[in-house]
Amino acid sequence: MGSFFAGIKAGTLGGIIYVGGLAIFNVVLLYALQSSALNAISQAYPQSCPISGGVNGSAADCFQSVVSVDVPFIAFVAFFITLIYAGVFGLYYDSLPNRGSTVKGLIFAAVIGLSLVFFGFSGYVFDSTSEFATTLMMLLWTALFGYLLGRLYKKYTREVEFSSQNPELLKVVVDGRESTGRVKTFATTSNHKLRAEIAEDASFKEWQATGGVSLEDARSFETTMEVNDNGKLVGCVGTKY
């Protein structure tokens, strides 16, 4: 498990750039191919958006509505979809394959991009040219977003390695999850519950923390740790007899 909060932070900044860039590109594309867009709008809504105009308005009026209402609405929903996925990305960061943050970001960005396309929030497409341009933009911009997502998550988190002097006698439990022999990511300046699960014939000695990890009480088998930078934590144990 990773940090949901750090994923949200990374997704907020990265999502603004990602979704904002797609929305701006969509508006530019609409104006660049305005005649095709007008025809598509008129064909889709012949009664309310006729080319020549009518009682309920014209295709030009509907075009302005698409630019000022539909595109921002699509961007708004797409941003929150991206934010939710970014939180999930942070939460399950440590469980994703490959240790590289950039690769993990790219993998999850691909999932986000496919979801936006599947649910129809990748942009307003009206002909084959706009579809090709939007697809190309999605591919390039999603790759950039994946890079940003991975790098920003790395920026907002720190890694802590957990180990035990004797894993048979002592297991390290962090926030209720067994973490012996693992490297986990945590949001910077975050606090977490730390507990030693000790065998019946063992006696807890102390925690040894190095790097940016500090402990409320290093001699208590159950305590709180604060993560300020990368570090390592070792549980020390001995036998009773």
> How far apart are the C-alpha atoms of 98 and 103, rounded to whole Å?
7
Q: Do strands 170-174 and 190-198 pair parallel, antiparallel, or not at all (unpaired)?
A: antiparallel
DSSP class of residue 180 equals T
Tell me the CB-side half-sphere exposure of residue 39, using CA atoms within 13 A.
6
pLDDT of residue 43: 81
Using an 8 Å Cβ cutoff, are 134 and 125 in contact? yes
pLDDT of residue 167: 92
Burial of 177 (0-12, 13-18, 19+ CB in 10 A): exposed
The strand pairing partners of 162, in sequence order, are 233
Using an 8 Å Cβ cutoff, are 49 and 78 in contact? no
pLDDT of residue 123: 86
Averaged pLDDT, groups of 10, the chain, 241 residues long: 90 95 94 88 75 61 87 94 95 85 93 93 87 94 96 95 94 94 94 94 92 94 96 90 64
pLDDT of residue 219: 94
3-class secondary structure, 3: coil
Of 239, 196, 241, which Cα lies nearest the Cα of 215? Answer: 196
3-class secondary structure, 85: helix
Of 134, 8, 156, 115, which Cα lies nearest the Cα of 71? Answer: 134
pLDDT of residue 55: 43
Rounded to two decimals, the pTM is 0.85
Count the residues in the chain: 241
Q: Is 120 left (phi over 0), alpha (psi -120 to 50) or beta?
A: left
Of 193, 201, 209, 195, which Cα lies nearest the Cα of 168? Answer: 201
